[in-house]
Amino acid sequence: MITEALHYDDMPSPVGPLRLVVDAHGLRQIAFVQERHPKTLPAHATRSPAAVAPARIQLEQYFAGDRQQFELPLHPLGTPFQLTVWQALAQIPYGETTSYGELAQRIGQARAVRAVGAANGRNPLPIVLPCHRVIGSNGQLTGFGGGLPTKRFLLSLERALPAGDLFDD
């Protein structure tokens, strides 16, 4: 069996260390190293700062406030439904938020709000596919793999923190 080459490296960020994983097709994963359910790397993955450098540079620019859109080849792995949701995430403009219900409507699945939420929660490319921009219909911040303080930070960076957020975790 041939296994695809995977390369990774960790980078510091204002929200804690991030692990970037790439394959021959593009950026495959951004993981919060300290998240509740850490992702493990396959044994054949090799550390390669050079391979992840384009993603790292663009993420550094984003955190510095110098980048609003990412221009990277992406290769998230998921079901067809998840890929549809993740493509819709990519269409949420910088500095704006949407609700799970609105996102479900955007993909033509208005009744699939919970499924959209589940797909959002499995997004392998947070920040680049901006799942942090999806909030509750009441304006409250809802779950995020990197934690609510991270979600709050990202929305504040983009000046998109909803007025209804009570800063409660």
- pTM, entire model: 0.90
CATH 1.10.10.10 domain span(s) along the chain: 80-157
Task: Report whether pLDDT(60) > 80.
Answer: yes
**102: exposed, middle or buried (C-beta count within 10 Å: 0-12, 13-18, 19+)?**
middle
- The string of pLDDT tens digits covering residues 112-126 is 999 999 999 999 999
CATH 3.30.160 domain span(s) along the chain: 7-63
Confidence (pLDDT) at 6: 95
Active-site amino acid positions: 131
**Tokens of residue 88, six digits:** 């819709």
For the segment 73-86, the average pLDDT, to the nearest whole number, is 97
Pick among 2.60.40, 3.20.20, 3.30.160, 1.10.10: CATH of 7-63:
3.30.160
CATH top-level class of 80-157? mainly alpha
Q: Are 8 and 45 in contact (CB under 8 A)?
A: yes
Residue type, 163: A
CB atoms within 10 A of CB 141: 23
Q: d(Cα 111, Cα 59) in Å, to the nearest integer? A: 34
Task: Report whether pLDDT(77) > 80.
Answer: yes
